[in-house]
Amino acid sequence: MDAAEFRRRGKEMVDYVADYLEKIEERPVYPDLEPGYLRDLIPTEAPCEPESFEDLMQDVERVIMPGITHWHSPNFFAYFPAASSYPAMLADMLCGAIGCIGFSWAASPACTELETVMLDWLGKMLQLPECFIAGTHGHGGGVIQSTASEATLMSLLAARCKAVRRVQAVESERSESDVLSKLVAYTSDQAHSSVERAALIGAVMMRKVPTDEHFAVREEMLKKMVEEDKAAGLIPFYFCATLGTTPSCAFDHITKLGPLCNKENMWMHIDAAYAGSAFICPEFRPLLNGIEYADSFNFNPHKWLLINFDFIIPIKKQIRFRSLKMWFVFRLYGLKGLQAHIRKQVALAKEFESLVQADNRFEICAEVILGLVCFRLKGSNELNQNLLKRITKSREIHLVPCQLSGRFVLRFAICARTTESRHIQRAWRHITQLAFELLQEQPLRELSHSHTASDGKLLCSHSRPGAV
């Protein structure tokens, strides 16, 4: 394919992309097929001779599209948002053309330098303390990582290295492997699995701190565990706090946990993968109070800030020219545009919460702080599992469950940039219709024994915090 054909095909692709996104609502949000569907639809080997672009694009509709879960459909309410925007797509095109690998300054100076400045812009949008901004004294600064998992791993490795040096500075005869075998890290029992994985990779112990009735880590519980471990000869060295947990968007109490970590010489990393984007709005910024005690912080602009990738402060690594996307998005939306996007999605979550609250067959299962609503039918886990099965089977909307204190809970996350009030209203009508059908078929005792789990996994039957 030469430049002339690329001009033609590229423009066709721009239209294909715009058509796809404009009409995405017409596609079932979730695919209807069995694992292994694709292998039979395409050859077992690469073609020897080149094929035509027309054939390839026909196969995109025949082979690929039926197997897509449409994350940017306004009817997609699963997981967390995966950011996408037209400015980010334009930047991606430019980024692909430049195609540099920015592993050093000389390998493409603009790539290194724009990243440093863009992360300063981002840090200022979040009102991070000065020590996180490269442009002030040059000690802090952010970098883009591939995933939040990678960011957590990097912070744990930095903390591990620092802890080994600190112990050996005092007890020079202790071997590194002896110190490593005594190190212990902590995180919430609500933390993402990638935090535990980071400890596995780094070959250090990790303890899960039990959370309170709001699914948050409190100072007292961490303090108790740290003291027990120290008494047992272990070396507490790292705590990964979560702001906005994956199951229910809960916030650990970092204003209290931070001073504890500082006093105990423990590295405090803050994982705000989803919630971090919201801190660009002054009304949500108080949720980040306590950041001044942290050693590192990461969040995913790719989740909620219309840019696709992740970011961490202050450990260094970069490859491709991903800061171009930040530049495009920040400039073409402006801070106000980005704040409006966050506020709109939080308002939609509140709207959905009101709908749930107004229906006494349902309950809210965790406080709705940002764009996630955890809810369920009053009743057994089995009842709620059946409701979710019907929702998934209908393919009109898509959401996923979580476990909160042993209860099977439905997560309704505002995801697509194009989700509007009418989608929320329609989704709720759809859910209540399916619930109505389901409850009609249930024996009456289901409702009268509403808090008895049928699967024996029930750990806590009290009504959830935030449920009104």
Residues 99-128 that bind its own copies (CB under 8 A): 99-101, 105-111, 113-114, 116-117, 120-122, 124-125
Could you say which of 35, 233, 443, 456 contacts its own copies (CB under 8 A)? 35
- Residue 177 binds to its own copies (criterion: CB under 8 A): yes
The answer to whether 325 and 308 have CB atoms below 8 angstroms apart is yes
Query: Crossing angle, helix 323-357 and helix 86-98, to 10 degrees?
Result: 150
C-alpha neighbours within 13 Å on the C-beta side of residue 441: 8
Q: Please list, in sequence order, all residues whose beta carbon lies within 8 angstroms of the beta carbon of residue 191, skipping any fewer than 6 positions away.
A: 208, 240, 242, 245, 271
Could you say which of 132, 251, 330, 352 contacts its own copies (CB under 8 A)? 330
Least CB distance to its own copies at residue 162 (A): 14
Least CB distance to its own copies at residue 231 (A): 20
Contacts with its own copies in 137-166 (CB under 8 A)? 146-147, 153, 157, 160
Could you say which of 25, 27, 82, 357 contacts its own copies (CB under 8 A)? 82
Residue appearing with tokens 């993968």:
273
Using the contact rule CB under 8 A, the part of the chain among 40-48, 349-357, 369-377, 421-429 near its own copies is: 40-48
Contacts with its own copies in 285-324 (CB under 8 A)? 308, 319-320, 324
Question: By C-beta, is 8 or 263 nearer to its own copies?
Answer: 8
Distance from the first to the final alpha carbon of the chain: 61
Report whether the peptide linkage leading into residue 443 is cis, meaning its omega lies within 30 degrees of zero. no
Question: By C-beta, is 56 or 459 nearer to its own copies?
Answer: 56
Contacts with its own copies in 424-443 (CB under 8 A)? none
Question: By C-beta, is 20 or 451 nearer to its own copies?
Answer: 20
- Residue 467 binds to its own copies (criterion: CB under 8 A): no
- Residue 10 binds to its own copies (criterion: CB under 8 A): yes
- Residue 282 binds to its own copies (criterion: CB under 8 A): no
Could you say which of 54, 58, 67, 127 contacts its own copies (CB under 8 A)? 67
Question: By C-beta, is 304 or 333 nearer to its own copies?
Answer: 333
